[in-house]
Amino acid sequence: MKKLLNTLYIFSENSYLSLDGENIVIKREDENDARVPLHNLESIYVFNFMGLSPKLMSKCTDQNIGISFLNPYGRFQARVEGKVRGNVYLRREQYRIADDENRAMNYSRNFILGKIYNSKWIIERGIRDHSLRIDVDKAKDTSQKLTIHLKNIRNIESSDVLRGIEGNAAEVYFSSIDQLILNQKETFYFIDRNRRPPRDPFNAVLSYLYTLLTYDVASALETVGLDPYVGFMHVDRPGRPSLALDLMEELRAVMVDRLAISLVNLKIINEKGFEISDVGTVQMNEETRKTISKQWQEKKQEVVTHPFIKEKIQWGMVPFVQAQLLARTIRGDLEEYPPFLWK
């Protein structure tokens, strides 16, 4: 089993990364600020424009350490990766499936089944844990509607119909998310999902965490030899990791939405961490990004029993295990892709 390593986040706009032997040296204003051993890392996220040395980039690509560049507000800019890894026959089969709508649907259905199932149980957990503080009737209605969508998915043969059900189910699910936000309601409220750029603090948190999840999933797919840019449900688009977006659908609610709600309800983040522009868009400040990133790393260290392999693993390993299961299905070792079903 792959070992879960650390992710290095660089937020300071004055930081520059260089290589010294087997260590990353973080320099700020021409002085060494910190040293980080490379063997402890699996990825680096850079949120500034100072960057890092070509020698360090080369070392990272040799050691399969992914480097993602984001702007200071968390918007993805670029990613540096090493040589394409994996069995060429596995990727060729992936491309054949992507070009065959009927075969691709066998995977797409299960991605969305996992997404709706996990969304339903986020609502059910809310009913169980906070029945005195939420509108239970509305929450139960949401859960019942999601159950109906789950029953209908198995009979779908058209990708357009599947996308329609997925969109409807997402709208139903998000209609109850605001109820689960129990504290700081004057700042953190949820009316609808908005992005590029987000127009309220809670959506800003979701967007940032979804970005982190996307590139964790993309890295997992690369690790098992799949091409994260050729998907089965999300159509090809230059620069878009379509297969990563496919696979992360089932993980959005359980890995991101739950964490975002907890950050607010436990008052780990607050209104001081967000800036509203003159045109109404919302951005997080550096300190809040650091706090959320730290919480994301801690979340990934928590242990969960995987519903398919029946083993206890860290949450951060879930994308890797799902990528493995997807690769095994594509190779023909599994009859059907098993989505991650959390309860």
- What tokens does 191 get? 């009316």
Domains of the chain, residue spans = 6-80, 88-331
Rounded mean pLDDT, 287-296: 93
Give pLDDT, residue 281.
Answer: 84
Rounded mean pLDDT, 232-261: 93
Do 6-80 and 88-331 fold alike per CATH? no
CATH architecture, range 6-80: Ribosomal Protein L15; Chain: K; domain 2 (3.100)
Of 20-24, 64-68, 254-258, 305-309, give the lowest mean pLDDT range.
Answer: 64-68
- What tokens does 200 get? 């309220």
Sign of CA dihedral 218, 222, 224, 228: positive
User: What would the pLDDT profile of 43-72 be if each residue is shown by its tens digit?
Assistant: 787 876 677 888 988 888 888 787 878 776
pTM over 0.85: no
Contacts 24+ apart (CB under 8 A), 121-128: 121/342, 121/343, 122/173, 122/180, 122/253, 122/254, 122/257, 122/258, 123/173, 123/176, 126/176, 126/179, 126/180
User: What would the pLDDT profile of 80-139 be if each residue is shown by its tens digit?
Assistant: 777 666 678 999 999 999 999 999 999 999 999 999 999 999 999 999 999 889 999 999
pLDDT band of residue 5 (cuts 50, 70, 90) is: low
3-class DSSP assignment, residue 140: helix
pLDDT band of residue 75 (cuts 50, 70, 90) is: low
Domain covering 88-331 in this structure, CATH number: 1.20.120.920
Quote the DSSP letter at residue 52: B
